[in-house]
Structure 1
Amino acid sequence: MTWTEVQAKVVVLLSLYSVCFANPLSRGQSFVIAESEELADCSRCEICRENTREERGKRAVRSRRRKDIKIWDKCSGKLDDESGTIQLPHEIRKNPYQCEWKIELTENSWMDIKAETLNTTQNKVIVTSQGKTILEHKGGISQLKSVSIQHNTATVLLTVYPKDDRWPGIVISYNQFKPDSPLQPIATPKDSEFALNQSMKNCGDDISSSNSKEGIITSPQYPKMYPDNAYCMWNFANTDSSHKLRLTIIDMDIEMGSGDQCNHDKLVIKNGKNVQQICGYNLPDGITTSEKKISIAFLSDDSLGAGGFKMRYRFVPK
């Protein structure tokens, strides 16, 4: 073998070693080796196979570490004061960690939970009570929310990531209160038409344009959390054909189910043949109608409450 042939083979071997070692993810891709016209498959290179296995192992370890986020005792514990505030700790650690706060108030008391700040890139918070998720934030900026928990215990779990430097990021406050006398229990109807059954109401009013040109209606106990089993009915009668009724919701926080469905608590507006169900906390557009009779119902089920609603009504000239 001439010196030139030896040099050519060395170049080929170095090229194969370099490609396999430097790019283990190229396995299964064909490439040209130096001056040779032959096609090679990196899967035949032992170095490539070993590096691929090593990289897979490293990725698996990193994945396990992401899933195995441990609770840090220094930012966890029990809270039994009548009120308090939970927020992200100041200390920055090398790896992600969790803070678990268990709120345990006096027996037969309830609590208001308020998310005062929700502004994070990665940090998360989830509030649970009796096995149900009450509030959850998974990064980004969320609208502030108030929720009433009709129980004396709740758990607040914070997940903290080192790269999230937004401060304070997450602030959750709670306040204990004693519930008022509950409304008479009812079976909340699920069908919106049936929800306007006059015989079932346990709160509300009849309002006529002849004796009240404008005013405010609210959920029970507003601005406190509304109670369980509320079935309020407001019946509007427009007796003046030269006027129309204008309805504007100016504050709203009504429990919403999964998929943004109003399958728990709801505000139901019957305007002629149109029946509209409303829940959540995003304010809807106002309603202006010339119908002679308009009905508004507010219904709450037998668990969990929220801040309720406040609505302004006005009979205005057409």
Structure 2
Amino acid sequence: MPGKQSEDRPLEVAAVEDGGDEGLASLTAEELQQGQEAALALEDMMALSAQTLVRTEVEELYEEVRPLGQGRFGRVLLVTHRQKGTPLALKQLSKNSTSLRGFLYEFCVGLALGKHPAIVVAYGIGIESAASYSFLTEPILHGDLITFIQPKVGLPQPAAQRCASQLASALGHIHSHGLVYRDLKPENVLVCDPACLRVKLTDFGHTRPRGTLLRLTGPPIPYTAPELCAPPPFPEGLPIQPALDAWALGVLIFCLLTGYFPWDQPLVQADPFFEDFLIWQASGQPQDRPQPWFGLTPAADSLLWGLLDPHPRRRNPVSSIQGYLGQPWRQRQGEAEELRDDGS
């Protein structure tokens, strides 16, 4: 099941080109301008936040209850305020692996997004201790989405549609702020209740303004859009856009419906499952349907084809999911077996 996102190197937001409607790599001047405005707003917020950091040891203000999560660069703890007893989630990043700027960036992205029902609420409290930087968010206590996805099964269809709808709304909110999330995977989706009725997106360390130039420095994973795997149009990298998140959402929805990936890498020369998908997508013929896609309905096919178009400018936005909610996304067992028997 899903693994960790590969790292790519963030660079500056590309400059808007004069003399035409199209900017870098087919991004319009308006789109690039939106990314530049987001970057400038974040810089201003980071400068202010650096001046208001609380400099103390975390233990002086908060009592640790239990760990909520652990990553390469830090950990998330459930804590309570020592005086008020308020439960909070505290994300703690080691100074050995995180710079002050990196900490302030992630902290301020969360604040800039404001309140959205499918995004973890960030509180405006940043703490600098001797060995770490920390910030506080609302506590989400039922783990991440990967613990709810049953291998080779996925989630029940109603839960899959609820999760997909809420995540599409969260991503659309991020895009409306001129940002691209870039790290959609089950580990970054927190579950608010045992029935998986509500989920929230977290972890904005990879989020970047639209138009930021990026290069893929590690091997691609299923969530990596194919345009990031191709040689970039500029030495500094590819100017990113929300279509990256649409691709990742399509892969995640497939995982929610099946319990496995549609492919390991979106590279024809490296992954026959991806090549089979492109052949089927090009022909539209039932006999070309790859085996991993058996059991999905025409509505699910249409939704995922739109999100997983290999050409980013033709790829549907994350909001396209709204037109498919309430329709069946899985075939009934008998229908799926019949499809296998007749090759359709």
Which of the two has greater strand per residue?
1
The two structures share one fold, judged by TM-score above 0.5: no
Rg bigger for which structure? 1
Which of the two has greater helix per residue?
2
Q: Provide TM-score, normalisation by structure 1.
A: 0.25
Q: Provide TM-score, normalisation by structure 2.
A: 0.24
